[in-house]
Amino acid sequence: MHSRPRPVAVAGAFDDLRRDTMATMSHYSRVQELAFWQGALGQELPGIYSAEYHGAFLRGTGLMLLMQRLESGAPRVHLDIHTDDLDAEVARLERLGAERVQKVQSWWVMRDPVGLLFCVLPMSPGSLNEENAQRWE
Amino acid sequence: MHSRPRPVAVAGAFDDLRRDTMATMSHYSRVQELAFWQGALGQELPGIYSAEYHGAFLRGTGLMLLMQRLESGAPRVHLDIHTDDLDAEVARLERLGAERVQKVQSWWVMRDPVGLLFCVLPMSPGSLNEENAQRWE
């Protein structure tokens, strides 16, 4: 048995392509981007997990919006899928047509059939249940 | 008074760059992509609004995942913001640092401070309330 919930995180990148050459501008861009989305949502997005992330559960939903500092690449949005059995869930998604791209720390980056990247993240045992997750046998 | 909810739609593109030159492959890609995300979510994503969209509310959340057929560009994900006062909400987001990009049918495409595109969609009067929306005076 393993369970896999609806996606519970939406990760919004908040760096830009100028980071490598204009660190000050990039820092400014990140601060500006965070301020924008906090204002747009009417909600604080405090630091979470590490210096790389800011985020919070969107009020009244089981979904979290995370802003992630990127090291490279254009600003982008991706979906996260949470699971309490990483190997089983990654294998299930492979059978559906996704490919493994890279293991990063504890999670897998995967690519869907048309090339969209998404992440599959392991959750602590007990954090997923019948209320917030889909059970796969 | 106008109200603006948390984002209630996540739009996932499901076309690819080969569409113009390989219509059959592109049609196949769309079918494959839709099948993948239905399987990943364990949820049907029926046609909705028009032939351009498939989607459904994610179970147990107030958020909808929409798959949109794209005419051009790489596959991508964007966020939608719903409002019952489009002009006021677009102006509010401009004051926060976003820019108008293009009016498409009834909604606005906007660009956030680091270049991410998102949409602001008008909803029917009465569809937003204190439970599913943030009120802005």
ipTM for this prediction: 0.81
Q: Who contacts B1 (Cβ-Cβ below 8 Å, separation ≥6)?
A: B135, B136, B137
d(CA B48, CA A47): 37
Residue indicated by tokens 């602590």: A124
Strands B117-122 and B107-111, bridge-based pairing: antiparallel
Picking from A59, A76, A136, the nearest residue to B76 by CB comes out as: A76
d(CA A28, CA A15): 10
Sign of the C-alpha dihedral computed for residues B37, B41, B44 and B46 taken in this order: negative
Residue A40: list chain B partners with CB under 8 A: 81, 93, 96, 98
Tokens coding B8 = 């209630």
d(CA A118, CA B4): 28
Report the range of poorest mean pLDDT among A24-38, A43-57, B3-17, B43-57. Answer: B3-17
How do residues A50-75 score in pLDDT, each as one tens digit?
A: 777 888 887 767 678 888 887 677 78
Chain A residues 81-100 with a CB less than 8 Å from chain B:
81, 93, 96-98
Q: Where are the beta strands (DSSP E) in A69-104?
A: 77-83, 99-104
Q: Angle CA(B65)–CA(B83)–CA(A80) in degrees, nearest 5?
A: 25
How do residues B123-132 score in pLDDT, each as one tens digit?
A: 888 777 777 7
B37 touches chain A (CB under 8 A): yes
Q: What is the pTM of this model?
A: 0.82
